[in-house]
Amino acid sequence: MNLSILGSTGSIGTQTLDIVRGFPEKFKVVGLTTNRQINLLKKQIVEFEPEAVAVMNEAKAAELKKENLSCKVYSGLDGLIKIASLEKAETVVSAVVGEIGIKPTLAAIEHQKTIALANKETLVAAGEKVMKLAKEKNVEIRPVDSEHSAIWQCLRSGKRSEIKKVCLTASGGPFWDKAKWPLEKLKNVAKKDVLNHPNWDMGAKITVDSATMMNKGLEFIEAMHLFDLSSEEIEIVVHPQSLVHSAVEFVDGSIIAQVSKPDMRHAILYALTYPERQANDFAPLNLFNQTLEFVKPDLERYPCLKLALECAKKGGEFPAKLNRLNEEAVAKFLNDEITFLEISEYIQNKLVF
Ligand code: MG
Protein backbone atom coordinates (compact mmCIF):
# COMPACT_ATOMS: atom_id res chain seq x y z
CA MET A 1 0.00 0.00 0.00
CA ASN A 2 1.36 3.41 -0.97
CA LEU A 3 1.18 6.04 1.75
CA SER A 4 1.38 9.81 1.91
CA ILE A 5 1.98 10.94 5.47
CA LEU A 6 1.00 14.51 6.29
CA GLY A 7 2.95 15.53 9.39
CA SER A 8 5.59 12.82 9.17
CA THR A 9 7.93 14.43 11.72
CA GLY A 10 5.31 14.61 14.49
CA SER A 11 4.38 11.96 17.04
CA ILE A 12 1.84 10.05 14.88
CA GLY A 13 3.94 10.57 11.75
CA THR A 14 7.08 9.05 13.22
CA GLN A 15 5.11 6.14 14.69
CA THR A 16 3.52 5.52 11.28
CA LEU A 17 6.99 5.38 9.77
CA ASP A 18 7.98 2.97 12.52
CA ILE A 19 5.20 0.69 11.27
CA VAL A 20 6.33 1.09 7.65
CA ARG A 21 9.83 0.15 8.80
CA GLY A 22 8.42 -3.01 10.42
CA PHE A 23 6.38 -4.09 7.39
CA PRO A 24 8.41 -3.08 4.34
CA GLU A 25 6.63 -5.64 2.17
CA LYS A 26 3.24 -4.11 3.01
CA PHE A 27 3.80 -0.36 2.93
CA LYS A 28 5.65 2.07 0.71
CA VAL A 29 5.98 5.79 1.41
CA VAL A 30 5.35 8.07 -1.56
CA GLY A 31 4.90 11.45 0.15
CA LEU A 32 5.91 13.12 3.42
CA THR A 33 5.34 16.56 4.91
CA THR A 34 6.59 18.58 7.86
CA ASN A 35 5.82 21.97 9.28
CA ARG A 36 9.47 23.01 9.76
CA GLN A 37 11.53 20.05 10.99
CA ILE A 38 13.62 19.66 7.85
CA ASN A 39 16.51 17.85 9.49
CA LEU A 40 14.34 14.95 10.54
CA LEU A 41 12.53 15.08 7.18
CA LYS A 42 15.89 14.76 5.41
CA LYS A 43 16.63 11.57 7.33
CA GLN A 44 13.18 10.24 6.46
CA ILE A 45 13.77 11.02 2.77
CA VAL A 46 17.02 9.05 2.79
CA GLU A 47 15.43 6.09 4.58
CA PHE A 48 12.01 5.89 2.89
CA GLU A 49 12.72 7.41 -0.55
CA PRO A 50 9.40 9.19 -1.15
CA GLU A 51 8.80 10.65 -4.60
CA ALA A 52 7.86 14.05 -3.15
CA VAL A 53 7.80 15.96 0.14
CA ALA A 54 6.39 19.28 1.33
CA VAL A 55 7.49 21.75 3.99
CA MET A 56 4.82 24.07 5.35
CA ASN A 57 7.26 26.78 6.44
CA GLU A 58 8.41 28.63 3.29
CA ALA A 59 11.86 29.61 4.60
CA LYS A 60 12.57 26.04 5.71
CA ALA A 61 11.29 24.74 2.37
CA ALA A 62 13.68 27.04 0.53
CA GLU A 63 16.51 25.73 2.71
CA LEU A 64 15.61 22.12 1.89
CA LYS A 65 15.29 22.85 -1.83
CA LYS A 66 18.97 23.86 -1.89
CA GLU A 67 19.98 20.33 -0.94
CA ASN A 68 20.58 17.82 -3.64
CA LEU A 69 17.67 15.50 -2.85
CA SER A 70 16.28 12.58 -4.76
CA CYS A 71 12.69 13.80 -4.46
CA LYS A 72 10.56 16.81 -5.36
CA VAL A 73 10.19 19.44 -2.62
CA TYR A 74 7.00 21.50 -2.41
CA SER A 75 6.19 24.28 0.04
CA GLY A 76 3.34 25.83 2.00
CA LEU A 77 -0.26 24.73 2.17
CA ASP A 78 -0.29 24.10 -1.60
CA GLY A 79 2.62 21.75 -1.05
CA LEU A 80 0.70 19.79 1.58
CA ILE A 81 -2.27 19.58 -0.78
CA LYS A 82 0.04 18.29 -3.50
CA ILE A 83 1.34 15.49 -1.25
CA ALA A 84 -2.23 14.65 -0.19
CA SER A 85 -3.22 14.21 -3.84
CA LEU A 86 -0.16 12.37 -5.25
CA GLU A 87 -1.35 10.01 -7.92
CA LYS A 88 0.47 7.01 -6.45
CA ALA A 89 -0.81 7.52 -2.91
CA GLU A 90 -3.58 5.10 -1.97
CA THR A 91 -3.90 6.03 1.70
CA VAL A 92 -3.25 9.44 3.18
CA VAL A 93 -2.33 9.56 6.86
CA SER A 94 -3.50 12.97 8.04
CA ALA A 95 -1.41 13.66 11.11
CA VAL A 96 -0.69 17.37 11.04
CA VAL A 97 -1.73 19.31 14.14
CA GLY A 98 -4.49 21.89 14.00
CA GLU A 99 -7.00 23.15 11.47
CA ILE A 100 -4.24 23.54 8.91
CA GLY A 101 -5.02 19.87 8.19
CA ILE A 102 -8.48 20.58 6.77
CA LYS A 103 -7.62 21.57 3.17
CA PRO A 104 -5.08 18.78 2.54
CA THR A 105 -7.53 16.23 3.95
CA LEU A 106 -10.33 17.54 1.72
CA ALA A 107 -7.96 17.35 -1.26
CA ALA A 108 -7.13 13.73 -0.44
CA ILE A 109 -10.85 12.87 -0.25
CA GLU A 110 -11.44 14.71 -3.52
CA HIS A 111 -8.80 12.41 -5.08
CA GLN A 112 -10.48 9.37 -3.53
CA LYS A 113 -7.64 8.39 -1.22
CA THR A 114 -8.45 6.31 1.83
CA ILE A 115 -7.99 8.56 4.85
CA ALA A 116 -6.30 7.49 8.07
CA LEU A 117 -7.29 10.46 10.19
CA ALA A 118 -5.28 11.50 13.23
CA ASN A 119 -5.97 15.20 12.81
CA LYS A 120 -9.04 15.64 15.02
CA GLU A 121 -9.25 19.38 14.39
CA THR A 122 -10.28 18.57 10.81
CA LEU A 123 -13.52 16.99 11.99
CA VAL A 124 -14.11 19.44 14.82
CA ALA A 125 -13.81 22.48 12.58
CA ALA A 126 -15.15 21.07 9.30
CA GLY A 127 -16.84 17.78 10.21
CA GLU A 128 -20.01 18.21 8.16
CA LYS A 129 -18.13 19.22 5.04
CA VAL A 130 -15.52 16.47 5.38
CA MET A 131 -18.00 13.66 6.07
CA LYS A 132 -20.33 14.82 3.28
CA LEU A 133 -17.53 14.88 0.72
CA ALA A 134 -16.26 11.49 1.89
CA LYS A 135 -19.73 10.04 1.35
CA GLU A 136 -20.05 11.62 -2.10
CA LYS A 137 -16.64 10.33 -3.15
CA ASN A 138 -17.17 6.95 -1.50
CA VAL A 139 -14.04 7.45 0.59
CA GLU A 140 -13.39 5.70 3.88
CA ILE A 141 -12.32 7.83 6.84
CA ARG A 142 -10.51 5.51 9.21
CA PRO A 143 -9.86 6.92 12.68
CA VAL A 144 -6.34 6.91 14.07
CA ASP A 145 -7.22 8.59 17.37
CA SER A 146 -7.06 5.73 19.89
CA GLU A 147 -10.55 6.30 21.31
CA HIS A 148 -12.15 6.52 17.89
CA SER A 149 -10.30 3.49 16.68
CA ALA A 150 -11.67 1.70 19.75
CA ILE A 151 -15.25 2.84 19.05
CA TRP A 152 -14.85 1.87 15.39
CA GLN A 153 -13.69 -1.61 16.43
CA CYS A 154 -16.49 -1.99 19.02
CA LEU A 155 -19.09 -0.93 16.46
CA ARG A 156 -18.31 -4.04 14.44
CA SER A 157 -20.25 -5.90 17.14
CA GLY A 158 -23.66 -4.44 16.27
CA LYS A 159 -25.81 -2.33 13.93
CA ARG A 160 -26.24 1.43 14.16
CA SER A 161 -29.80 0.93 15.40
CA GLU A 162 -28.50 -1.31 18.20
CA ILE A 163 -26.24 1.32 19.78
CA LYS A 164 -27.43 2.58 23.11
CA LYS A 165 -24.49 4.71 24.08
CA VAL A 166 -20.85 5.28 23.26
CA CYS A 167 -18.48 5.54 26.24
CA LEU A 168 -15.58 7.79 25.31
CA THR A 169 -12.81 7.17 27.81
CA ALA A 170 -10.40 9.83 29.04
CA SER A 171 -7.21 9.46 31.06
CA GLY A 172 -7.87 12.73 32.90
CA GLY A 173 -4.35 13.92 32.08
CA PRO A 174 -1.54 14.72 34.53
CA PHE A 175 -3.76 16.68 36.96
CA TRP A 176 -6.43 14.08 37.49
CA ASP A 177 -5.43 13.40 41.10
CA LYS A 178 -7.24 16.10 43.11
CA ALA A 179 -5.23 15.41 46.26
CA LYS A 180 -1.96 15.93 44.42
CA TRP A 181 -3.20 18.81 42.28
CA PRO A 182 -5.75 20.95 44.17
CA LEU A 183 -7.21 23.81 42.10
CA GLU A 184 -5.10 26.30 44.05
CA LYS A 185 -1.91 24.55 42.91
CA LEU A 186 -3.05 24.46 39.27
CA LYS A 187 -2.86 28.27 39.19
CA ASN A 188 0.91 28.20 39.14
CA VAL A 189 1.46 24.93 37.36
CA ALA A 190 4.68 24.84 35.32
CA LYS A 191 4.82 24.05 31.62
CA LYS A 192 6.89 20.93 32.28
CA ASP A 193 4.15 19.53 34.57
CA VAL A 194 1.57 20.08 31.83
CA LEU A 195 3.76 18.45 29.23
CA ASN A 196 4.31 15.40 31.43
CA HIS A 197 1.45 13.04 30.53
CA PRO A 198 1.23 9.92 32.73
CA ASN A 199 0.28 7.36 30.03
CA TRP A 200 0.75 8.71 26.53
CA ASP A 201 3.77 10.16 24.80
CA MET A 202 2.37 12.77 22.42
CA GLY A 203 3.07 16.13 20.76
CA ALA A 204 2.98 19.38 22.80
CA LYS A 205 -0.40 20.69 21.59
CA ILE A 206 -2.33 17.51 22.31
CA THR A 207 -0.56 17.08 25.65
CA VAL A 208 -1.76 20.52 26.77
CA ASP A 209 -5.24 19.68 25.42
CA SER A 210 -5.10 16.50 27.43
CA ALA A 211 -4.23 18.36 30.65
CA THR A 212 -7.15 20.78 30.19
CA MET A 213 -9.32 17.90 28.91
CA MET A 214 -10.12 20.03 25.86
CA ASN A 215 -8.74 17.03 24.00
CA LYS A 216 -11.69 14.97 25.20
CA GLY A 217 -14.09 17.73 24.19
CA LEU A 218 -12.61 17.80 20.69
CA GLU A 219 -12.78 14.00 20.56
CA PHE A 220 -16.42 14.14 21.61
CA ILE A 221 -17.20 16.32 18.60
CA GLU A 222 -14.95 14.16 16.40
CA ALA A 223 -16.93 11.06 17.44
CA MET A 224 -20.25 12.76 16.64
CA HIS A 225 -19.10 13.30 13.05
CA LEU A 226 -17.26 10.03 12.50
CA PHE A 227 -20.06 7.80 13.73
CA ASP A 228 -23.05 10.06 13.11
CA LEU A 229 -23.95 10.30 16.81
CA SER A 230 -25.91 12.95 18.70
CA SER A 231 -24.35 14.53 21.79
CA GLU A 232 -26.82 12.58 23.96
CA GLU A 233 -25.46 9.30 22.64
CA ILE A 234 -21.92 9.85 23.94
CA GLU A 235 -20.78 9.75 27.54
CA ILE A 236 -17.30 10.68 28.76
CA VAL A 237 -15.85 8.28 31.30
CA VAL A 238 -12.57 9.03 33.06
CA HIS A 239 -10.38 5.95 33.11
CA PRO A 240 -6.96 6.88 34.51
CA GLN A 241 -5.19 3.66 33.45
CA SER A 242 -5.73 4.30 29.68
CA LEU A 243 -6.16 0.60 28.91
CA VAL A 244 -9.81 0.66 27.84
CA HIS A 245 -9.66 3.00 24.87
CA SER A 246 -13.44 3.37 24.64
CA ALA A 247 -16.53 1.18 24.67
CA VAL A 248 -19.97 0.88 23.09
CA GLU A 249 -23.08 -0.11 24.98
CA PHE A 250 -25.68 -1.90 22.87
CA VAL A 251 -29.45 -2.05 23.40
CA ASP A 252 -29.29 -5.55 24.89
CA GLY A 253 -27.12 -4.27 27.74
CA SER A 254 -23.83 -5.65 26.42
CA ILE A 255 -20.87 -3.29 26.62
CA ILE A 256 -18.10 -4.06 24.14
CA ALA A 257 -14.77 -2.40 24.96
CA GLN A 258 -11.44 -2.29 23.17
CA VAL A 259 -8.50 -2.87 25.49
CA SER A 260 -4.78 -2.63 24.66
CA LYS A 261 -1.58 -0.97 25.80
CA PRO A 262 -1.54 2.82 25.39
CA ASP A 263 0.54 2.51 22.23
CA MET A 264 -0.70 4.52 19.27
CA ARG A 265 0.78 2.03 16.84
CA HIS A 266 -2.21 -0.25 17.51
CA ALA A 267 -4.64 2.37 16.19
CA ILE A 268 -2.36 3.38 13.31
CA LEU A 269 -1.78 -0.20 12.17
CA TYR A 270 -5.48 -1.09 12.36
CA ALA A 271 -6.36 1.97 10.26
CA LEU A 272 -3.79 0.88 7.67
CA THR A 273 -4.71 -2.80 7.49
CA TYR A 274 -8.49 -2.67 8.13
CA PRO A 275 -10.47 -4.90 7.83
CA GLU A 276 -7.56 -7.27 8.48
CA ARG A 277 -5.78 -7.53 11.82
CA GLN A 278 -2.03 -7.60 11.45
CA ALA A 279 0.13 -9.67 13.82
CA ASN A 280 2.94 -7.55 15.23
CA ASP A 281 5.73 -7.48 17.79
CA PHE A 282 4.37 -4.59 19.91
CA ALA A 283 4.62 -5.29 23.64
CA PRO A 284 1.38 -7.11 24.51
CA LEU A 285 -0.92 -6.13 27.40
CA ASN A 286 -0.88 -8.49 30.32
CA LEU A 287 -4.29 -8.44 32.03
CA PHE A 288 -3.06 -9.97 35.25
CA ASN A 289 -2.85 -7.55 38.17
CA GLN A 290 -4.46 -4.68 36.26
CA THR A 291 -6.96 -2.48 38.07
CA LEU A 292 -9.46 -0.62 35.92
CA GLU A 293 -11.23 2.45 37.34
CA PHE A 294 -14.05 4.42 35.73
CA VAL A 295 -15.12 7.80 37.12
CA LYS A 296 -17.46 10.60 36.04
CA PRO A 297 -15.53 13.74 34.96
CA ASP A 298 -15.78 16.81 37.19
CA LEU A 299 -16.72 19.58 34.76
CA GLU A 300 -16.03 22.35 37.28
CA ARG A 301 -12.42 21.19 37.47
CA TYR A 302 -12.20 21.00 33.68
CA PRO A 303 -13.82 24.19 32.32
CA CYS A 304 -12.38 23.55 28.83
CA LEU A 305 -14.28 20.27 28.63
CA LYS A 306 -17.45 22.01 29.81
CA LEU A 307 -17.06 24.64 27.07
CA ALA A 308 -16.47 21.96 24.46
CA LEU A 309 -19.57 20.01 25.47
CA GLU A 310 -21.65 23.19 25.25
CA CYS A 311 -20.28 23.83 21.75
CA ALA A 312 -20.93 20.22 20.75
CA LYS A 313 -24.55 20.59 21.79
CA LYS A 314 -25.00 23.96 20.08
CA GLY A 315 -23.31 22.84 16.87
CA GLY A 316 -23.26 25.27 13.91
CA GLU A 317 -20.22 27.52 13.96
CA PHE A 318 -19.40 26.84 17.64
CA PRO A 319 -17.13 23.79 17.35
CA ALA A 320 -14.94 25.50 14.73
CA LYS A 321 -14.81 28.67 16.82
CA LEU A 322 -13.93 26.69 19.94
CA ASN A 323 -11.18 24.89 18.08
CA ARG A 324 -9.66 28.11 16.76
CA LEU A 325 -9.71 29.82 20.16
CA ASN A 326 -8.18 26.75 21.76
CA GLU A 327 -5.38 26.67 19.19
CA GLU A 328 -4.69 30.34 19.96
CA ALA A 329 -4.80 29.79 23.73
CA VAL A 330 -2.52 26.74 23.68
CA ALA A 331 0.00 28.59 21.48
CA LYS A 332 -0.04 31.47 24.00
CA PHE A 333 0.45 29.07 26.89
CA LEU A 334 3.34 27.28 25.16
CA ASN A 335 4.81 30.70 24.48
CA ASP A 336 4.55 31.64 28.20
CA GLU A 337 2.05 34.45 27.48
CA ILE A 338 -0.76 33.01 29.62
CA THR A 339 -0.94 30.58 32.54
CA PHE A 340 -2.50 27.14 32.50
CA LEU A 341 -5.80 28.21 34.08
CA GLU A 342 -6.01 31.19 31.73
CA ILE A 343 -6.40 28.84 28.76
CA SER A 344 -10.07 28.23 29.55
CA GLU A 345 -10.60 31.89 30.48
CA TYR A 346 -9.16 33.00 27.16
CA ILE A 347 -11.54 30.72 25.25
CA GLN A 348 -14.58 31.50 27.38
CA ASN A 349 -14.13 35.27 27.10
CA LYS A 350 -14.10 35.14 23.31
CA LEU A 351 -16.74 32.49 22.89
CA VAL A 352 -20.08 34.31 22.90
CA PHE A 353 -22.99 31.91 23.18
MG1 MG B 1 -7.26 10.32 21.71
75 Cα: distance to centroid of ligand 1 (angstroms): 29
Q: Which of 215, 94, 223 lies closest to 152, judged by CA?
A: 223
Residues 232 and 329 in one domain: yes
CATH number, domain containing residue 20: 3.40.50.720
Residue 278, domain member (yes or no): no
Distance CA 181, CA 78 (A): 44
| Any domain includes 157 | yes
What's the Rg (C-alpha) of the chain?
20
Query: Which amino acid is residue 327, in one-letter code?
Result: E
Sign of the dihedral defined by the CA atoms of residues 173, 176, 177, 180, in that order: positive
Ligand 1 centroid vs 87 CA: distance in angstroms?
Answer: 30
Q: In angstroms, what is the span from residue 169 Cα to ligand 1's centroid? A: 9
**Are both 128 and 183 inside the same structural domain?**
no
Which helix (H) or strand (E) segment is 250 a member of?
strand 244-250
If you measure from the C-alpha of residue 303 to the centroid of ligand 1, how many angstroms do you get, rounded to a whole number?
19
Q: Are residues 195 and 242 in the same domain?
A: yes
Query: Mind listing the pLDDT tens digit for each residue in 65-98?
Result: 999 898 999 999 999 999 999 999 999 999 999 9
Say how many Å lie between the CA of residue 328 and the centre of ligand 1. Answer: 20
Do 154 and 104 have their domain in common?
no
Percent over 70 (pLDDT), the chain: 100
Regarding whether 130 and 181 lie in a shared domain, the answer is no
Cα–ligand 1 centroid distance for 215 (angstroms): 7
Q: Answer yes or no: do 218 and 159 share one domain.
A: yes
* Whole-number pLDDT of residue 68: 87
In this structure, the answer to whether residues 219 and 99 fall within a common structural domain is no
CA of 267 to the centre of ligand 1 (A): 10
| Distance from C-alpha of 20 to C-alpha of 176, rounded to nearest angstrom | 35
186 alpha carbon – ligand 1 mean position (Å): 23
Pair 317, 191 in one domain? yes
Q: Which residues contact 176 (CB under 8 A, 6 or more apart)?
A: 198, 238, 240
Ligand 1 centroid to residue 49 C-alpha, Å: 30
Domain carrying residue 54: 2-144
Write down the pLDDT at residue 201: 75
184 and 88 assigned to the same domain: no
Query: Total domain count for the chain?
Result: 2
Domain boundary among 129, 144, 159: 144
Asked which of 165-169, 202-206, 329-333 is least confident by mean pLDDT, the reply is 202-206
**Over residues 93-116, mean pLDDT:** 96
Residue 334 lies in a domain: yes
Length of the chain: 353
Residue 271 lies in a domain: no
Neighbours of ion ligand 1 (CB under 5 A): 145-147
| Angle, helix 214-227 to helix 318-334, in steps of 10 degrees | 150
Amino acid at 198: P
Indicate if the pLDDT at residue 235 is higher than 90: yes
pTM: 0.94
